[in-house]
Structures are given as C-alpha cells and as structure tokens.
Structure 1
Amino acid sequence: MTNKILLSSVALASMAQFAAAGNAGDQTHPNIILILCDDMGFSDLGCYGGEVQTPNIDFLATNGVRFSQFKNTGRSCPSRAALMTGRYQHEAGMGWMTAVDEHRPGYRGQISTDFPTIAEILKANGYATYMSGKWHLTVEGAFEKPNGSYPTQRGFDKYYGCLSGGGSYYTPTPVYSNMKRITQFPDDFYYTTAITDSAVSFIRSHPADLPMFMYLAHYAPHRPLQAPKERVESCRQRYKVGYDILRQQRFDRQKEMGLINAGDTLPIHQKEFEGKRPAWTSLTPEQQEAWITDMATYAAMIEIMDDGIGEVIAATKEKGIYDNTIFLFMSDNGATREGGFIAQLQADLSNTPYRDYKALCFQGGTSAPFIVTYGDPQKNVLKGKFSREFSHIIDVMPTCLEMASAKYPKQFNNKKLHTTEGESLLPAIQNRKLASRDLFFEHNTSCAIISDGWKLVRDNAKHPWELIDLTTDPFEENDQAALFPEKVKALENKWNRWAEEKHVFPFEYRPWGERVKYYKSLYPNQSGKE
C-alpha cells in the first residue's frame, strides 16, 4: 500500500490513455452483470443438483454454460480481491481478511491501489459501472472515514451496500449509498431485498446509449441464517428426511445431468468428523430439529436471492437491453462449518460431493458453481451443457474484458503493469480447450496447487501434504503422497516459488483474535494508509 490511496482525477486521466476509442455510446459492446453470492455450496442450486428452488438461476444455466471445475480462493474477501483484479489475492494485498492491516505486502487488509479493478478498466472504456451489495475490500479501520478503497473510489459510478463482511440481514453495517453513510432502515428492511432493489433501480436509470457493467454481490446465504418466517416454513418439509437421503439425491441428480461421471460413487468423508461421520438417525430429535430449521432458513435465503435475480433479469428485458446482456453467476467459496456441529452437517450436504469447507483448500472449500449466459440465445454455444475446463476466479476479469473488447492497461497510477495471472475463459465458453496451466491456492496456511491433473494440498502448513490424482479421485479420498514422493517434491517446489513471488510468506499461525490484536498493537494506524 502506498500514500496514493485516493483515485484522483489525475489517476483517472492516466487511465484514459488506454481507453478504447469510440466505446462510449457504442451499443455493440455488451452489458455485463456479474453476480456473486456468499458461502453457498457447490450443490445447493437446482442446476447443480440441489433441492433448493432456484428457477431464475436455473434459467441462466439451462440457457448458458455451467462450469464443473471452477475454483475460488476458499474465503470471501480474498476471492473478491481476485475477482476485481484478475490476480491472486496476496498480490492484490488481500491475502487474509479485512480485519487488520498487517503492513505486509500480501496482507494489507484491503485491495491494493497498484492494480486497476475491473470497474476502473471498463469505466475507462466507456462503460457505466454499478455495484450493489457486499464489498469486503476495505480494511475495517477505515469504515468511518473513506480512504480511497470504497467502491465509488475504485471505479464504480454508483454503489449501494455494506462495506463489511458480516452482520445482520436486518441491520447491516456500515451501509453506504455512494459515499453517504446510511444508518436508518425501514421496518421491513431485509438486506437481500435491498440489494436487489438497488440493482433494479440502477438498471432502470441507466443511460440507454452506454454499455453497462454491474457487480451484484449478494450477502446471502452467509451466516447469520435469517429469513422471513413464512419463507422458512415453506422450505421445512423437504429437509425432514435428513441429510443422508438428501445428499444421495443430490449426487444422483449430478450424475444424471452430467455434472459428474456416471460411474462415480458418493464419497462419505470421515476425516472431517474425526473419523466417524454421524448418520442422520444417530442424531437426537433436538439435533435433527435444529438441522432442519437451519437448512430451511439457508434454503429460504438462497430462494429470496434467486427471486431478486429474476427481478434483475426482468429489468433488463423491460429496459430493452436483455439480448445484449451477459450474465455471470458464482459463489465466493464453499459452504461453511462456522457455527458448530449442526453447521458442519449442513455444509456437508451443501458441498456434495466434495470434501471439507470454506477457508480450506480442499475441493469443498474452493469449488463453486460458475454460469455464463448471453441474453442473445444464438451466442450460447454450450446451451445447457457443462464445460469441464479447470478455471479460477482470477479468470473472471480477463473474461469480462475480452467480452467487452477492452484491453488490460500497460500502466496504472503511474506504474507499469504486467499482465494478470487470470486468463480469459471465452474459449471454454465457446467450447474450445484452454491451455494447460497450474492453479495455486493459500488461505490461513491451507495450501494447494493443481497441476496437470494432480493436486497437492494440506489443511495447514504444519501438516503434511496430500497428493491427489484428480483424474481418478476427484473427491480427494486417496492420498498418494507416500507412493509418489518425487511428484510431491516437484509440486511443492512449484508452490513455494509461487508463494515467494506473490508475497504469501511468512506464514501467520496466530488465531483470529490474537492475530488482530498483535498487528493492531504493532500498527495502531488502521486507516489503510501508511
């Protein structure tokens, strides 16, 4: 982080140097609506095997392409930094969380000013840019005084939403409309609905002669689990059969739709339950009731979000821009076990068929739905089908730039830029192969690399590596590290080189509270500035 936090008119003028001539007002450039949800598992959506009723997201899926091997960083704000910059999160200053600025290059607690956001680039290329929802890219010490990292200071023309990563759906904080703090909410306020309403409002007021980029960042279904009572009650019945039956049903639907191989069998992950995964029938009636209530609430939260996405789609049709709009949908990480035993059993269903949870680099933590749909049906080459190409959240920015015919800048804030690690997924969307490459992961010392069908992974840096052959073991059940020690060493060396280059080291092992307290004592100034 440098003193050049605020994006001044000088900085914006420098961006104009790489703006593509003639983009403004050119309706041939597509509108792009990028939708991100929060803490939703791989199999929750109907179009990925779930029993949650998501007809509007399913509509996007059946008319577009679904990715079966799309990966994220495993955690909220790191994924958002990668999404906004097309770079691994540590390079963008967001290697951990927004809770504290550690004054280390990879761990500044907010998005770096060294690299442009997707909104800044598209704005310089003639796009009107809007954001509604969760930001989670500003260090918490700067919530009261803007420091250059707020959405409208990082390329968005209009913004409504909460800067932080958590809070109540009825009283989130801090909520901003552009740069104005909102502290009063109506009695019927519900955050998911407010995010939808703002997005729809932005579309309706959007100048018809400009291409539009909208980032719709839902908080749902992140904890706390909160939804209107009548919506929760409408979901309860389907969860009374318990997670064992539902998990098998999800898996069977995944096989039927071609998301996973027909010959695969449902894995029963035991390690995550200390070697003994409990059967539904082993729970007490009180535990079963708690799980049913939590799962029904979680489903209701997703369904309310889906209703809102339907409203956004309808707004583009009312505006007359639907046919020239591209929709992208994804989740920032897998479902979470935060909340204890019942929450873990819930996440075990949500992440079917994958192992582990949010914040870890196993498949359950880093695997997410990814859907890309053109409003114009003739452009959906893989309509209703899956792309099996390995891809990563760092690829979303370059994909959007290529769709918009926008070039990544050669310099930003008077600094030369090298190209992003992310690569455009347009070839995969058009049913072409992507070039082979390695993908890297790290969060809270959980580490992984995917390389040529192999995955090296560990839950934290004090534990040994596991070696997984993803071509035969996509659910990470069989550790082959002892059989192929040379492969382990080669992949570990690759991962270490990447970690050195991207400012991952040194590792920090302090628990959350101790970590925050330690760095605040070292650096009392937590404003995001030197």
Structure 2
Amino acid sequence: MEPSDVLPFPPTPSASVAGRTMQDSTYAQRVRPKRLPEDAPNILIVLIDDAGPGLPATYGGEVRTDTLTRIQSDGIGYNRFHTTAMCSPTRASLLTGRNQHRIGNGQISELANDWDGYAGEIPKSSALAAEVLNHYGYSTAAFGKWHNTPVNETTPAGPFHNWPTNVGFEYFYGFLAGEASQYEPNLVRNTTSVLPPRTPEEGYHLSEDLADDAIGWLRRHKAFDPDKPFYMYWASGCLHAPHQVTKPWADKYAGKFDDGWDAYRERVFARAKEKSWIPPDAELTPRDPTMPAWEDIPEDQRPFQRRLMEVAAGFAEHVDVQVGRLVDEVDRLGYGDNTLIFYIWGDNGSSGEGQNGTISELLAQNGIPSTVDMHMAALEDLGGLDALGSPKVDNQYHAGWAWAGSTPYKGMKLLASHLGGTRNPMAVRWPARITPDARPRAQFHHCNDLVPTIYEVLGITPPRVVNGVPQDSIDGTSFAYTFDEPDAPGRLRTQYFEIMGSRAIYHDGWMASAFGPRAPWVPGLPPGIADWTPDQDSWELYNLDEDWSQATDLAEKMPDKLAVLKETFAIEAARNSVYPVGGGLWIVLFHPEFRMTSPYREWDFSGDIVRMPEVCAPALGNRANTVTIDLDVPADANGVLYALGGSGGGLTCYVDDGVLCYEYNLFIIMRTKIRSERPLPIGPATIEITTAYAEARPAGPLDITLTVNGERFGSGVVPVSAPLLFTANDCLDIGTCLGAPVSLDYYDRAPFPFSGRINNVNVRYNA
C-alpha cells in the first residue's frame, strides 16, 4: 500500500520506452501502485434523522427496529456516542471529521451568516472522507438527506461545487434540503432535478425509494466495479417531520401509547436497564416544569396526541425495514462479511419542534400562534385522525413525545447542553473483523470520530493537501481501539457542544452545561431574548462517570471544578470559531431579512419552469408583489398557472372550468380562497395577481387583487400571512403543481397542468 499526504496521487508513469518505430520500442504494462490494503472493507453509514435513544426496541424503546437489533447483535453497540444536537452540523462533522463550527456549520445553512463558524459552507480545506476515499480507489455514493449545500445554491442551475457529487460522492440521489415530503419530495439525481418514480396513489414513499435506488446502485457496482470497495452514505428523511407513512404502518401501534409520554418514559427506562444498555445506577431525569405532563392534556385532545405518536412510531419502524432491505442486499451480493456498517440512530435527539402537536410543522417555525383545537378542527375537514400521516398533512408529534423519545435524558434536539439532544445510539457490524459482543462500548465518542476511525482501519494518513488546498487537521479521535476492547479507557478527552446558545463542554468524564436562551418545546421566542447574552446563563456540572443521565447538578458543591470547565469551553470555543456564542440565532433574533433568499427583485419565467426551491424563488406569500401572466386561454380552461409550496402550506393560482382561482393555504389551519366573478375570456389574455400588505408587520394581512386584461376579476384579504417560508423543500412550479398539491380543490386532479399556453410569467416586488 502506498500512502500519500497529497491528493490526488500523481499519475502512474508508463513502463514502456518509446522509440522512433514500434519495432524500436520496448513495451511493458504499467503497474499502478496499490493504494489500499487487499482486505479493505466496504463501508456503509446509515444515519436516521431526528430520532432519540428512547425509541428503538433494540435499546428498550417501543418502536420495532429489527434491523438495528440485527446489526447490534451481529456486532457491537455504543451507548455514549454523541452528535451535535442539530442536523447540518452533525452531518458536516460526521462526513469530514472536524468540529462543526470550525467548518462553518454552527447551524443549518438556511440561517447562515458572515461569522466563520456560521457561514453554512464546508470549506475545501476540510475535504470529506468521500473525497479522500475516492482518490484511494473507493466507489462512493450518497442517498437521502444532504442539507450541507448553501440553500441559495440548490436550484437546478447550481452552482454545483457544494453538491454531493462535487465533494467526493460519485453518485447522489435524494434531497438537498433539511426535510422533504415523503410522498412528493423535490428530488435530485447527481445534479439534475427529478420527479419521484411513482405517485402516492401508486404506492410511492421516499424511504422505500431511497432503499430501492441504493440497492440498484449496489447491483451496478457489483456488475461494473466488482474489485473496488464501496463507501455508501444512506441518510433517511425519517424521523424528521413531516411524519408521513401509510395507515397500516401507523395502525400497528394503535393503542400502544394511550397512557402518554410520562408513562412511556418509565417503561423504556426500566427496559433499558434490563437490557444493560444503561447502567443499573442510572437515574430517570424529571420533566422540565415548562413541559406539559400527559395529565395536563385535555381528554378530548388525547386521541389526536396519541395518533401523532402512532404515526411517528410506524414511520420509524418503516425506515428501519428499508435499512434492512439495504443490508439484505449487501449480504446477498456477497459483501456482508467485509462490509463495515455504522448504523447511527439519530443525528440529534428527538425533535420537539412540533411543540403542542401539529398538522403542519412549519407553522411553529413561522411563529404563528395556533391552538390544538384549530388543528383538530382543520383535520376533520381532511378525514379526521386517519388523515394523519397522509399526503394531505405535514404532521409532527407533541414535544412530550420527543422528550419521551430521548429517555432517560432531559434534553432533545436543539439542546446541546443535555444528552437527550446529543447522545445517540450507534451499532457497528463488520463480521470479518469484529466479534459480536453484547457489552456496550461506553467510551465517550463524537460524530467527528467516524472519519479518523475509517482512516485508521484503512491505514490512511489524513492528507495534508487535497486538490491543491492545504487541509485543516482532523478533530476527531478514532474509536477503532474499542472494536476488540470493550473496557478500554476512552481516548477522547475533550469535546465541546454548541447550538444556538445551548452549550456544553466534556472533559475527562465531566460535563458542564448551559441550557441556553430558549426551550425548543415552548412556542414562540421567550420575552427579552433579543437582549440575551451567554453571561446570563447558569451553568450546571455533572460527573458523567458516576451520573449517567445528568441527574445530579454539582455546580454549587464544586464551583472550582465548574470554573475550570467553563474556561475549557472558552478555549475550545475560541479555537473552533464558536464565537459569538449563540451566533446561530443572529438571523432568527435580529435580522430575519438576512435569511437566505433570492437576491433578485424581478423574474421572467417561461411557462415550463418547474421545481424552483422555495427558498430561491420569489417570496410571493410575504412580499408585496405583482405576478403578470401572458397566456392563451382555451375554451373550458383548467389547470394550475403557478403554485408555491405544498399541501402543508403554500399559495396557488389556477383555473377551474374557466374561472380564475387563488388560494392562500396558511399551513392547513386557514385557507383563503378567491374566485373570479366571471369566467376568463377565451384567447390571448394578461392576468395580474397583486399582493399588498394591508398592515406592514410580520404575518400581517394581505390584500389580493386579480385582474384580467386590466379589468378587476376578484379580490380578497388573507388575514394572516406566513412571514418566513411555507416549506423547506417544496418548490415554485409554473403551469403545473408537481409537489404536494397546495389546494384541496385540485388535490384529486394533481399535478393539474394548465390546458392552455403560458407564454411568460413576470414577477416583481413592489416594495
């Protein structure tokens, strides 16, 4: 094996000597040096999204996870593996081996700002493992959720230098955003926008599609490159909201959660001890005073809250089954014995972003107040509880279920301070090298340790230069030493955590934690948060070697120890570009107008432009604007003129039997519909849809006016508008609605293409 600290490797020189003629020449076949050991394993990384440690039956939870159990039983498990408490930061760290802020991923890319730690772009000085392994001879592929490309670079026009296929993966199939509809996702293959291969009515589901495509890639690899090892990253969109799975999967859990989240935690805690997944002296941490108890939920709302959890559980089991299909194919193709599988259950803890339980999960992120009764009333119009999990809603469970899913810890997603947000189970299988062992590996490790572990296994020295760019050092610590030594002393001594001001520092068995400025399960922003500074936070102190779940705060008893750890955090924060602490909140708190949006104020679209991600599209739902459509109207005209967003929230303008229609779908709970007072004239026409703020304030009412050939055809008022976005992954479509149907009025006719001809669509901002 020939290592190198500079990649790519130099070309292999010819072994032949050329003379003037072939007769005068000496020929010998050049021998390319071996870059990898003969027994280099295939590598499969499976990453589940927004899933806490208290969910899988493998570790005491009540969600059936046969594949996770299989990998654990055939290999080893890690019960002190850690993530960052947020998706993009974890993924960037996991794929590069560096700390999140050091590579510009202090928060999701949608909230990127100008500070180095929060820039939202992985620098070329921190090459992904995929890039390195590709140079060494691996075939590389990624599937599913990416969420590490700056959002303003995600249109079909690129630029593509931050897309998966330009950072080391030879093949990519999935979605670039942080979430997607499981039924009508906005998908990308390599650098091309593609539609799902089937409709929801034909049985399409994203998790199944991702497994299908990965299996197809494996078969092609076996046929075309059987001598090359592969490196596959399979990252599902599950269990991130929207929680969507077909009714039979949800029905498997009917009645299983009737006694609520408090009782669930008690059961899971006891079983986790029985399975020796957590130590016998571990304590079950109490519910935060601001978190509702199950007893606090009114009786008439409990069926709604139960069903939300039943859907989530079915969704989670379903994705584990898809992982099982992928592992089955690895084994069937003869790769199983020498494939190193890392199955990571969660890129952070369970998500409480559903807050009080919702049928449209971005409602809370837009800061629009709502009540559970409003959600339940809107749900009745969609078919009642059976609509949960369907394409018609973007549901997410109550934060109480997220807290239960993070048993036995205090925290959840977005809390870097407490282990429920950062401690995720990992199972590792490698039959050729790892002897199955039921004893959990309890060494403290972090997602940035995965890359150095892979490098150590392969004998690769982290490169000093990649593609001419000097490389940042690796931050992670290999855990390959634990494969054979379950009780070996841990080698990772220090690791910081920070997400939006919530933070912690681990050092030699101790952890100091500062909860931060907000609880993710409490709707809205806390009063006075704009004046928050990290100096206001109280710190807690825990001896994790003796206190598994952060149950006993020692801060008052050991102030000197706490002071040392706080100073350690300060050093790590300075070294890793964490400052300013809470920098991920900059746009949320102070400058929402700086969030990633299109830089343009006017657009011209032909009538066939589709799949423009909402974050890059004109902000038709929260900016004063005029949409001017030049078109030819046929007799009995029908179809969508344009649609922005999806069934969980969006706006659309369409023609229904010659009548011009406009609908503003405010996250399902409120729909404003405007229909023209007379049919459209047949022939060439110019339609204008004007949007103006009736009151200049976020979420303020909008005046909508429809004109045709200069004549007023209809008007109305949208009482409440969406101040941020309707969706995270759906799009603007002209002349059709290729995503989740915005309006129920054409739901059964989707994608409902316009039957006439759209010549041009001009959009311009008016203020």
Q: What is the root-mean-square deviation of aligned Cα atoms in Å?
A: 2.5
Aligned-residue offset at 1:269: 2.5
CA distance in structure 1 between the aligned counterparts of 2:341 and 2:350, rounded to whole angstroms: 23
User: Comparing 219-228 with 417-426, which one deviates more in the overlay?
Assistant: 417-426
Which residue number corresponds to residue 162 of structure 2? 149
Alignment correspondent of 2:277: 259
Distance 1:304 1:27, change over 3 A: farther
In the alignment, is residue 227 of structure 1 matched against residue 245 of structure 2?
Answer: yes
Offset of residue 13 of structure 1: 9.0
Is 1:439 paired with 2:502?
Answer: no
Q: Secondary structure at the match of 1:236?
A: coil
Provide TM-score, normalisation by structure 1: 0.90
Distance 1:346 1:123 in 2: 41
- Match of 2:123, SS state, is coil
Which structure is higher in helix share? 1
Determine if the alignment matches structure 1 residue 356 to structure 2 residue 411.
Answer: yes
Aligned counterpart in structure 2 of residue 375 of structure 1, from 423, 431, 446: 431
Report the residue type matching 1:334 in the other structure: G
Question: CA deviation digits over 1:52-86, x for unaligned, max 9?
Answer: 11111110011111111111101000000000110
For residue 334 of structure 2, what is the aligned residue in structure 1? Answer: 320
Question: 2:586 and 2:296 mapped to 1: Cα distance?
Answer: 36
Shift of 1:382: 4.9
Q: Distance in 2 between matches of 1:519 and 1:309?
A: 35
Alignment of 1:80-479 (within 5 A): 80-144=91-155, 145-173=158-186, 175-183=187-195, 185-187=197-199, 188-206=203-221, 207-273=225-291, 278=293, 280-330=294-344, 331-342=346-357, 343-361=398-416, 362-376=418-432, 379-431=433-485, 432-460=488-516, 461=534, 462-479=536-553
- Decide whether the 8 Å contact of 1:134 with 1:219 is kept in 2: yes
Q: Which residue identity does 2:79 align to in structure 1? A: S
Name the aligned partner's letter for residue 268 of structure 1.
P
Aligned counterpart, 2:73: 62
Q: Which runs of 5+ in 2 are unaligned?
A: 13-31, 358-397, 517-533, 602-614, 617-767
Query: Is the 2:78–2:440 Cα contact (8 Å) retained in structure 1?
Result: yes
User: What SS does the aligned partner of 1:386 have?
Assistant: coil
Q: For residues 203 and 381 of structure 1, what CA distance do their matches in structure 2 show?
A: 26
Deviates more, 1:382-391 or 1:326-335: 382-391
Structure 1 position 22 matched with structure 2 position 34: yes
Alignment CA distance shift 1:425-1:90 (3 Å): same
Please tell me whether the aligned partners of residues 57 and 65 of structure 2 are also in contact (alpha carbons under 8 angstroms).
Answer: yes
Size of the aligned set, in residue pairs, is 508
> 1:481: how far off?
1.7
Instruction: Determine whether 1:517 maps to 2:596.
Output: no
Q: CA deviation at 1:403?
A: 2.2
Identify the match of residue 45 of structure 2 among 14, 34, 47: 34
Q: Residues 110-146 of structure 1: CA distance to partner in whole angstroms, max 9, x if unpaired?
A: 2222111010011111100011110000111011113
* CA distance in 2 between partners of 1:325 and 1:344 (Å): 37
Q: 1:488 aligns with which of 555, 562, 565?
A: 562
Cα shift at 1:353: 0.2
Report the Cα offset of residue 489 of structure 1: 1.6
What displacement does 1:91 show?
Answer: 1.0
Structure 2 distance, partners of 1:505, 1:520, is: 21
Distance 2:11 2:77 in 1: 32
Unaligned runs of 5+ in 1: 1-11
Whole-Å separation in 1 of the counterparts to 2:10 and 2:78: 35
Q: Post-superposition shift, 1:283? A: 2.5
Q: Equivalent of 1:77, from 67, 80, 88?
A: 88
Residues of 2 paired with 1:94 and 1:282: CA distance? Answer: 38
**1:467 touches 1:488 (CA, 8 Å); kept in 2?**
yes
Q: 2:111, 2:587 within 8 Å by CA — same for their partners in 1?
A: no
- Stretch of structure 1 that moved more, 350-359 or 506-515: 506-515
Q: Measured at CA, do residues 322 and 521 of structure 1 come closer, stay the same or move farther in structure 2, by a change above 3 Å?
A: closer
* Conservation of the 8 A alpha-carbon contact between 1:71 and 1:367: yes
Deviation at 1:184, TM superposition (A): 5.2
Q: Deviations over 1:217-246 (max 9, x none)?
A: 111011111110111111223222332332
Question: 1:458 and 1:522 mapped to 2: Cα distance?
Answer: 36
How far, CA to CA, are the matches of 1:495 and 1:524 in structure 2? 41
My pick for the range that moved more, 262-271 or 88-97, is 262-271
| Partner Cα distance (2:481, 2:244) in 1 | 40
Q: Structure 1's 485 and 524: CA in aligned 2 closer, same or farther, altered over 3 A?
A: farther
Partner letter of residue 176 of structure 2? L
CA–CA distance in 1 between the matches of 2:277 and 2:538? 31
CA distance 1:470–1:177, change in 2 (3 Å) = same
Identity %: 27
Preserved contact between residue 76 and residue 437 of structure 2 (Cα < 8 Å): yes
Q: Provide the TM-score with structure 2 as the length reference.
A: 0.63
- Greater relative contact order (Cα < 8 A, sep 6+): 1
Q: Distance in 2 between matches of 1:493 and 1:296?
A: 45
* Structure label with greater radius of gyration: 2
Task: Tell me if the contact between 2:284 and 2:551 (Cα under 8 Å) persists in the aligned partners.
Answer: no
* 3-state SS of 2:506 partner: strand
Please report how far the alpha carbon of residue 182 of structure 1 lies from its aligned counterpart in structure 2 after TM superposition. Answer: 1.1
Summarize the alignment of residues 41-52 of structure 1 with structure 2, pairs less than 5 Å apart: 41-52=52-63
Q: What does the per-residue CA deviation read over 1:81-115, in whole Å, with 9 as the maximum and x for residues that have no partner? A: 00011000111111111104423211121222211
Q: Select the structure that is richer in strand.
A: 2
